[in-house]
Amino acid sequence: MQHFCKRSNSTIFSRDRASNLIPVDQDPLQQNFTETLPTEMSVKIFSELDVRSLCRASLTCRLWNDIIEGSDQLWRSHCLTVLAICQRDVDGDRLAGCSWKVTLVRNYRKGCVKRRWLKGRYSNIRSADEIPPNSMCPLDVETWGEILEAELDR
């Protein structure tokens, strides 16, 4: 079945994932870029997003989700920024065969908790009852040592 533009009798075609020509039934300017660009180009575009935006983009549609979830390259770059915070955990997850996304998700929260502790966000806590939810997670000895040193310097 062919679709025709209202302004002319020409048919507009696009390429699907298997590089087959398929007719397009909507304004080309409003098409989903992942439907018209090669997957590698879509991955390049998605690689410009931060972690939160990348997770939100994966919820946009099934095609975006398939590209984002299926690309270890996207998650690797973000995971390497977490590596400086939780290197032992990242290395352990990778040795255990976890994907870059799983490794990032597991260690991203730890990195956020560590940064908040190091910035002194919890310096005025006097008892365990005052610790806010989501401010604790298992951290290694070196990390707690860094946090303790930062607290003693304050």
Residue closest to 43 by CA, chosen among 78, 12, 80, 73: 73
The answer, as to whether pTM is greater than 0.75, is no
pLDDT in tens, 78-102: 887 766 567 777 788 889 998 888 8
Q: How far apart are CA 69 and CA 67, in angstroms?
A: 6
pLDDT, residue 44, reads 93
The beta-carbon contacts of 31-35 under 8 Å, at least 24 apart in sequence, are 32/61, 32/63, 32/64, 34/63, 34/64, 34/67, 35/63
- Looking at residue 18, what is its pLDDT? 62
